[in-house]
Amino acid sequence: IFPGSVDAAGQRATLGVMGGGQLGRMFVHAAQRLGYFTAVLEPDAQSPAGLVSHHHIQTSYDDPAGLAQLAHLCQAITTEFENVPAQALQTLAETRPVAPSAAVVGIAQNRIEEKAHFAACAELSGVTCAPYAVIETPDQLQAVQNDRPDLLPGILKTARLGYDGKGQIRVKTVAELATAWTELGGVACVLEKMLPLTAECSVLVARGWDGQVVSFAPQRNVHVDGILAVTHAYEGNMPPALADKARDAAVAIAHHLGYVGVLCVEFFVVEDGSEHGGLVVNEMAPRPHNSGHYTLDACDASQFDLQVHAMAGLPLPQPRQHSPAIMLNLLGDVWFDAAGQPQEPAWGSVLSLPGTHLHLYGKTEARAGRKMGHLTITGPDVASVKDVAHRAAGLLN
Ligand code: ADP
Ligand code: MG
């Protein structure tokens, strides 16, 4: 599907996205820059992506009429959030190319299936996930006490719908585990052993319909309260052997899934004395990812550009990073002072710093923990990027 093309019926080349959040917004921007028209299906009238798209279909994600309209308007369709009903993607796929597929999005939506997939390709990827047990019944809860004391202390995570550290509870004892499971509603969960992390990183891979794969170098991520806070993207952000291993593992996982589009694979690094450290695969996101936002400003093709290329069947150029970068997430907290009073962030001072790239998502209401935007810092060398990031963070806290 070439950008700018018009079909026999006079319809312009249009790309569609399920979901109207910030990832959809940045996808829409990338598609439009290439010359595509865009359509967003999103119930919220004021969504970040809906506000900037040529077409905004304002229905629920599983509305048959809305889906039919999206399929009618678009030559190819993607998703920007992983909890899109897999059935909706299935419906769209009856008439249009949909990337990623309903099947792989379904796997990523469920930690139990996700971990089973990681296990199934462990030999190819060279990585395993943290020790865990599935907890769907009281018997399985009991079995932890008897058979898997090694999983405590651990983290109980709901199999579905968790994000940004939500839907998980840290537990030290069997008693705490039982309480936590009740608190999470007794739904399907995994209990994961708490690992002593020395770092976290993620890898973005783009894979085309023909199986061609390109990838970005791994970025190192710092989470605070389960939410991504800072991404370090520059050479030397982690030991080279570890970076190579993570990148190879992510590519192997994408191939094994038969994935099409941009996939983000998240890893834990656990000190194990070996050259590459203990690399443990955590989870995957079937879409561009918050940890890849720096690619917009620091690379010659962003993760959103590659998502457009992959779904539209355009060639996938190997992206090149032309500047070291640090990304700071801007949560709603930045819009409140220490006393909890609303404040306008110090944009004037921040934007006067060299190499700062501000991205706000167009959300009107700032709330604690809500992703409002991000700030990427680029520069001539790692030291100056770190220095500016440090000053910017100081101005925003
Ligand atoms: P989410 O879907 O909310 O991103 P994650 O499984 O990635 O859920 O967990 C969020 C964060 O919690 C991780 O980035 C990491 O900092 C921490 N965490 C999760 N699982 C473990 C674990 N097994 N051991 C140590 N820390 C963990
Ligand atoms: Mg995560």
> For every one of its 397 residues, what pLDDT tens digit does the chain have, with 9 covering 90 and above?
999 899 888 889 999 999 999 999 999 999 999 999 999 999 999 999 999 999 999 999 999 999 999 999 999 999 999 889 999 999 999 999 999 999 999 999 999 999 999 999 999 999 999 999 999 999 999 999 889 999 999 999 999 988 877 899 999 999 999 999 999 999 999 999 999 999 999 999 999 999 999 999 999 999 998 899 999 999 999 999 999 999 999 999 999 999 999 999 999 999 887 655 699 999 999 999 999 999 999 999 999 999 999 999 999 999 999 999 999 999 999 999 999 999 999 999 999 999 999 999 999 899 999 999 999 999 999 999 999 999 999 999 8
CA of 114 to the centre of ligand 1 (A): 14
Query: Do 296 and 387 share a domain, yes or no?
Result: yes
Nearest partner of 122 among 228, 23, 321, 256, judged by Cα: 256
Q: Tell me how crowded residue 347 is: count the other CB atoms within 10 A of its CB.
A: 14
Is ipTM strictly over 0.95?
yes
Residue 138 domain-assigned (yes or no): yes
CA of 268 to the centre of ligand 2 (A): 10
Query: Do 237 and 219 share a domain, yes or no?
Result: yes
Per residue, what are the HEC states of the chain?
Answer: CCCCCECCCCCECEEEEECCCHHHHHHHHHHHHHCCEEEEECCCCCCCCHHHCCEEECCCCCCHHHHHHHHHHCCEEEECCCCCCHHHHHHHHCCCCECCCHHHHHHHCCHHHHHHHHHHCHHHHCCECCCEEEECCHHHHHHHHHHCHHHCCEEEEECCCCCCCCCEEEECCHHHHHHHHHHCCCCCEEEEECCCEEEEEEEEEEECCCCCEEECCCEEEEEECCEEEEEEECCCCCCHHHHHHHHHHHHHHHHHHCCCEEEEEEEEEECCCCCCCEEEEEEEECCCCHHHCCHHHHECCCHHHHHHHHHHCCCCCCCCECCCEEEEEEEHHHHECCCCCECCCCHHHHHCCCCEEEEECCCCCCCCCCEEEEEEEECCCHHHHHHHHHHHHHHHC
Residue 31 domain-assigned (yes or no): yes
CA of 75 to the centre of ligand 2 (A): 31
Query: Do 274 and 157 share a domain, yes or no?
Result: no
* Contact (Cβ atoms closer than 8 angstroms) between residue 328 and residue 321: no
Query: Do 318 and 361 share a domain, yes or no?
Result: yes
Q: Which of 193, 212, 232 is the last residue of a domain?
A: 193
Query: Do 384 and 315 share a domain, yes or no?
Result: yes
Q: Whose CA is nearest to atom 12 of ligand 1?
A: 226
Query: Do 281 and 371 share a domain, yes or no?
Result: yes
Structure tokens at 285: 């996101």
How far are the Cα atoms of 18, 67, 86 from residue 62, in angstroms, in the given order?
10, 7, 9
Query: Do 338 and 283 share a domain, yes or no?
Result: yes
Distance (Å, whole) CA 283 – CA 291: 13
Work out whether strand 278-285 and strand 356-360 pair parallel, antiparallel, or are unpaired: unpaired
Query: Do 222 and 282 share a domain, yes or no?
Result: yes
- CATH number for position 275: 3.30.470.20
CA of 301 to the centre of ligand 1 (A): 29
Q: Among the bound ligands, name the one nearest to the CA of residue 201.
A: 1
Residue 121 domain-assigned (yes or no): no
**Residue 366: domain span:** 197-396
Query: Do 240 and 368 share a domain, yes or no?
Result: yes
Distance (Å, whole) CA 375 – CA 37: 27
- CATH number for position 74: 3.40.50.20
Query: Do 316 and 389 share a domain, yes or no?
Result: yes
Structure tokens at 227: 């939410």
Ligand 1 atom with the shortest distance to the CA of 165:
3
Q: Whose CA is nearest to atom 22 of ligand 1?
A: 194
Residue 385 domain-assigned (yes or no): yes
CA of 155 to the centre of ligand 2 (A): 13
Query: Do 332 and 387 share a domain, yes or no?
Result: yes
Structure tokens at 193: 């052993």
CA dihedral 208, 211, 216, 218 (to 10 degrees): 130
- CATH number for position 170: 3.30.1490.20
Query: Do 271 and 385 share a domain, yes or no?
Result: yes
Residue 109 domain-assigned (yes or no): no
- From 268, 289, 290, 329, mutation site for ligand 1 pocket: most ligand atoms within 8 A of C-beta: 268
Residue 108 domain-assigned (yes or no): no
Q: Which of 176, 193, 210 is the last residue of a domain?
A: 193
Q: Which of 98, 119, 154 is the last residue of a domain?
A: 98
Residue 87 domain-assigned (yes or no): yes
Residue 5 domain-assigned (yes or no): no
Number of structural domains (the chain) is 3
